[in-house]
Structure 1
Amino acid sequence: MSETPSVCRHLHIHGRVQGVYYRASMVEQALALGVSGWVRNRRDGSVEALVCGPAEAVEELIDWSRQGPAQARVEGVAVAEAEGPPPAGFEQRPTA
C-alpha cells in the first residue's frame, strides 16, 4: 500500500468572505477532510489560509474554498505552494 503524498498550499481568498462564517466553515471542512493548517482574516477584507495534507484532500478543500459557505461571494482564490512542516490540527488564527 502506497502512502498518499502530503502537500501544503497557501490560499488567499478574495470577495465577500468576512462576516459570513467563512473561517469557521473552512475549519469544519478541513477537519472533515483530515487537512491540517490554519485560516485567518486579513485587514484588507480577504481571508488567508495554509492547508496541508494528502494531495486529494487539499484539492478538495481548495475546490470548496472557491465557493465557501452560502453567504460568501468568492471572487477569486490565489493558490501557491507552501513549505511544511504542516501544523497539527486546523485552527482559526487572529486577523493579520
Structure 2
Amino acid sequence: MSEIRKRMIFHGRVQGVGFRYTAKYLARSLGLTGWVENEYDGTVILEVQGREALIYKLMEGLNRNQFITIDWIDTEEIPVEKEQSFYVK
C-alpha cells in the first residue's frame, strides 16, 4: 500500500488538553511521520503521512481521549514528503 499525506485542522477543545503529545505518541507508535502544532486561533494543525489505515487508527485514538473534544476537521490530501519521524512544533 502506498503512503499518503494529509493536512488536518482540528476545531473544538483541542488546545491545553494534551492533544499534540497524544498525537505524537500515537503517530510514533503507528510508524507515521509528520508534525502537529497549535495555532493562534485555538485550532491545532496536523500533517501526517503513512498508510491510510494507520492514519485512521491515529484519528480513532485522538477521538478516544476523554479530554479532547473535536467539533470538526478540515482535511486535505497533500504531496508526500521525505521525513523520518513525527514531532511537535
**1:1-60 Cα deviation digits (max 9, x unpaired):** xxx211100010000100000000000000111100000000000000000012211222
Q: What is the TM-score with the length of structure 1 in the denominator?
A: 0.84
Contact 2:3 2:80 in 1 (8 A): no
One-letter identity of the residue aligned with 2:39: R
Aligned length: 89
Structure-2 residue corresponding to 1:83: 79
**Identical-residue share of aligned pairs (%):** 26
Q: Which runs of 5+ in 1 are unaligned?
A: none
CA 45–68 in structure 1, closer or farther in 2 if over 3 Å, else same: farther
Q: Which structure would you say has the larger Rg?
A: 1
1:56 aligns with 2:53: yes
Q: Which runs of 5+ in 2 are unaligned?
A: none
* Aligned partner of 1:35 among 32, 55, 76: 32
RMSD over aligned Cα atoms: 1.4
C-alpha distance in structure 1 between counterparts of 2:15 and 2:56, whole Å: 22
Residue type of the alignment partner of 2:52: A
Relative to total residues, which structure has the larger helix share, 1 or 2?
A: 2
1:7 to 1, 4, 9: 4
- Report how far residue 68 of structure 1 moved: 5.6
Is 1:45 the counterpart of 2:37 in the alignment? no
Aligned CA distance change for structure 1 residues 85 and 36 (closer, same or farther; 3 Å): same
Cα distance in structure 2, aligned partners of 1:68 and 1:52: 21
